[in-house]
C-alpha cells in the first residue's frame, strides 16, 4: 500500500503543509546563518531562533514529571483549540538544508537555501511550493560566510492536496505522482499527511503518534513554546528521527521547525533541515479570492516528465454511472472467448 505520509513528507517534514498573496519571484541574495542552528533573523515575526541538537536515542522515551505533563497538556489543548479555528492560512518559508557529507564540511553551513509558499484551506486543501533556490557556493574570501543567490527555480518542489487527491512533483524520477485517497483518509485526515505540526493539531492524535515534551529555548527567547516530538510509530520513524517545533505564544502558529532525518547523528551524520515561517496570515481577506483557491489543483506536467496515477486502499477516480449505452460499449470492448465443444 502506498503511504500518504510518503507522498509529501519528503517535501515538508522531510512536515506536513501548504503561494497565497502574490509572491514576487525574483533573484535574491542572502548570507548563510552564522551558526547552523540559527535561523536567519528578519523583520517582525522572523525571529532568530537557535535550535538544539537532539539526543541520539530515539527508542527511549523521555520521562516527564507530573508538573511537566500538566503544562504540556495545557499547551497541546490550547494549540488544538487555536488551530481548529483556522479556516485559511498562508505563509512564506525559508528552508536551509545541512549535510556535510554532500556539502560544506562545516556542519553549521547549509548546503542550500530555498524559499517558497505554503497555503491551507480547512479542512482538506493544502499546497507546498518551492519557488526560489540557491545551492552552496564557496565565499570569495576564506572565513567569510557564504552568500546564497536565490533565483527562481523551474519545476520546484510542489505538493498539492485537493482533499481527495494528492499531487507531488518527484524530481528524482521526473514524475508527477497523482495519488487518490480512500474516503477514510480524506477531509480532516490532511493532518496525517506531510504537515502534522502545522494544522489539525489534535492533542490525542499527536500524543498517540509522538512522545512530546517542552524544551527550554536555547536562545532564551521569551514568548515562544518549544516542543520536541519523537515518533512512536514505525511509519513516522521511517521519515524522521525527531522534530522541534517552535510556536509563538500569542497566535500558536509555527515560527520554525527543524527536522532530523532517521539516521541523524550529531557526530557522524549531523544532516538536518530548518524551516522559518514569515508573513503568516490567518483568515486574511485576500484568501477569499478565486486566485487563492485556484491553486489547489494539479501542477502541470513538466516537459519530459511522466504522470503516474496511484490509488491508496483501492481509491481512485469515480467510474461513470452504468447506463445501457455505456454498458453495451464496455461489453463490445471485452475480448471474445472461444469455448471448446
How many C-beta neighbours within 10 Å does residue 334 have?
7
The candidate with the shortest Cα–Cα distance to 304, out of 129, 178, 171, is 171
> Is residue 222's pLDDT more than 50?
yes
Domain annotation for the chain: domains and CATH numbers? 4-316 (2.50.20.10)
pLDDT of residue 16: 36
Q: How far apart are CA 198 and CA 131, in angstroms?
A: 20
pLDDT of residue 154: 87
The candidate with the shortest Cα–Cα distance to 92, out of 110, 113, 115, is 115
Q: How far apart are CA 286 and CA 49, in angstroms?
A: 29
pLDDT digits (tens, 9 = 90+) for 245-273: 999 998 999 999 999 999 999 999 999 99
The candidate with the shortest Cα–Cα distance to 199, out of 135, 281, 120, is 120
> Is residue 210's pLDDT more than 90?
yes
Grid coordinates belonging to 45: 515575526
Are residues 151 and 133 in contact, defined by beta-carbon separation less than 8 angstroms?
Answer: yes
> Is residue 77's pLDDT more than 90?
yes
> Is residue 87's pLDDT more than 90?
yes
Q: How far apart are CA 277 and CA 283, in angstroms?
A: 17
> Is residue 114's pLDDT more than 90?
yes
For residue 280, the SS3 value is strand
Q: How far apart are CA 91 and CA 66, in angstroms?
A: 36
* Beta pairing class for 165-170 and 242-248: unpaired
**Burial (0-12, 13-18, 19+ Cβ within 10 Å), 327:** exposed
pLDDT of residue 8: 41
Specify the DSSP element, H or E, that contains 194.
none
pLDDT of residue 13: 36
Average pLDDT over residues 91-95: 95
Q: How far apart are CA 2 and CA 312, in angstroms?
A: 6
Percent of the chain scoring above 90 in pLDDT: 45
pTM of the model: 0.76
More confident call, 134 vs 60: 134
- Average pLDDT along the chain: 77
β partners of residue 273: 97, 259
Q: How far apart are CA 284 and CA 253, in angstroms?
A: 15
* Beta pairing class for 306-311 and 175-180: parallel
More confident call, 134 vs 28: 134
The candidate with the shortest Cα–Cα distance to 128, out of 113, 112, 117, is 117
Q: Distances from the Cα of 133 to the Cαs of 63, 156, 285, 287, in angstroms?
A: 40, 8, 29, 26
pLDDT of residue 123: 85
In angstroms, how far is the first alpha carbon of the chain from the final one? 43
pLDDT digits (tens, 9 = 90+) for 156-184: 899 999 989 999 998 889 999 999 988 87
pLDDT of residue 291: 87
Amino acid at each position: 500500500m502506498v503511504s500518504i505520509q510518503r507522498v509529501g513528507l519528503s517535501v515538508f517534514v522531510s512536515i506536513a503543509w501548504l503561494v497565497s498573496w502574490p509572491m514576487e519571484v525574483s533573484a535574491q541574495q542572502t548570507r548563510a546563518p552564522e551558526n547552523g542552528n540559527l535561523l536567519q533573523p528578519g523583520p517582525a515575526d522572523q525571529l532568530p531562533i537557535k535550535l538544539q541538537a537532539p539526543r541520539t536515542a530515539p527508542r527511549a522515551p523521555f520521562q516527564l514529571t507530573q508538573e511537566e505533563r500538566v503544562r504540556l497538556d495545557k499547551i497541546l489543548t490550547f494549540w488544538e483549540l487555536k488551530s481548529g479555528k483556522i479556516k485559511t492560512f498562508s505563509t512564506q518559508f525559508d528552508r536551509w538544508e545541512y549535510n556535510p557529507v554532500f556539502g560544506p564540511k562545516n556542519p553549521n553551513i547549509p548546503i542550500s537555501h530555498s524559499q517558497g509558499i505554503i497555503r491551507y484551506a480547512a479542512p482538506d486543501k493544502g499546497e507546498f511550493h518551492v519557488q526560489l533556490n540557491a545551492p552552496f557556493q564557496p565565499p570569495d574570501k576564506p572565513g567569510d560566510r557564504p552568500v546564497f543567490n536565490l533565483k527562481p527555480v523551474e519545476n520546484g518542489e510542489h505538493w498539492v492536496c485537493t482533499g481527495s487527491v494528492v499531487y507531488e512533483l518527484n524530481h528524482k524520477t521526473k514524475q508527477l505522482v497523482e495519488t487518490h485517497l480512500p474516503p477514510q483518509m480524506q477531509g480532516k485526515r490532511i493532518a496525517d499527511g506531510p504537515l502534522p505540526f502545522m494544522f489539525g493539531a489534535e492533542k490525542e492524535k499527536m500524543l498517540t503518534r509522538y512522545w512530546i515534551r517542552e524544551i527550554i529555548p536555547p536562545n532564551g527567547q521569551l514568548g515562544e513554546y518549544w516542543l520536541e516530538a519523537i515518533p512512536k510509530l514505525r511509519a513516522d520513524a521511517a521519515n524522521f528521527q525527531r522534530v522541534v517545533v517552535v510556536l509563538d505564544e500569542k497566535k500558536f502558529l509555527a515560527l520554525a521547525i527543524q527536522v532530523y532525518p532517521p539516521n541523524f547523528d550529531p557526530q557522524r551524520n549531523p544532516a538536518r533541515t530548518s524551516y522559518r515561517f514569515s508573513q503568516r496570515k490567518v483568515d486574511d481577506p485576500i484568501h477569499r479570492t478565486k486566485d487563492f483557491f485556484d491553486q489547489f489543483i494539479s501542477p502541470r506536467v513538466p516537459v519530459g516528465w511522466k504522470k503516474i496515477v496511484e490509488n491508496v486502499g483501492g481509491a481512485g477516480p469515480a467510474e461513470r454511472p452504468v447506463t445501457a449505452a455505456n454498458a453495451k460499449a464496455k461489453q463490445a470492448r471485452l475480448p471474445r472467448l472461444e469455448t471448446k465443444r
